[in-house]
Structure 1
Amino acid sequence: MCESSKEALAENNLNLPKMAEKDGCFQSGFNEETCLVKIITGLLEFEVYLEYLQNRFESSEEQARAVQMSTKVLIQFLQKKVGVSSFPQLGVGEDRLKDSALDNSGMQCHFQKRRLHVKKRV
């Protein structure tokens, strides 16, 4: 069905948030506050993917929920560190999700392989 996790990801064309020089996260031009804001924004966008997984794939629902809860805790921690209590709701993640070619079989294959990989490490 699918040969590798990389192929499954490539087929689904996930448009995940990416870091750029202007985000202040690289060694040259590092700016902690700017970088943390970018990370928080990216995590908020990523939450949309987790909601998609939770609603779409029953086999991944529990794992997606656990990652989603951990992501929320991380977002809250980083917001406190930056001194911002809340960020505006971002519609960007929803647009990214719509723009991604989320093929059901490819996503299932990716998460099935990921689950096997995690079980082997434990």
Structure 2
Amino acid sequence: MGTTTSFESPDLVSWKVWVLGIDGSGNLLWQEEILPRNNQRDWRVVDAEPFKDGAVIVATSIGNYVIRIDSSGRLVWAKNINFIPSDVATDDEAIYMAGGGSVKGIIMALDGSGNPIWTNAY
């Protein structure tokens, strides 16, 4: 995972999140480019975590988005979580994130559809 930059002209720059699915031998299974809202320039992947079914959760730094991609590389959903996540973990029940915002620290749990289960600020 990472970002790509495309310079189509001096005034038009495209910024995208580039996500790859690879198998245990390093063979490419799929790749997907996701264009951020409003073509935000500092869009960065800060963490990613796979699910057992092959789906991936991607946390981003701009727009405070968490993105779920299915096992074929298709975007399932993108949610604004109102803080910048720095760590993501998953289990069969939830997506857990920790990060910072207007307070020193935030921990949040989302269900598999990206809906908040709970949030704690410290």
TM-score by length of structure 2 reads 0.22
Structure 1 or 2, whichever has the larger Rg, is 1
| More helix, by proportion | 1
| More strand, by proportion | 2
Q: Identify the structure with bigger relative contact order (alpha carbons < 8 Å, sequence gap 6+).
A: 1
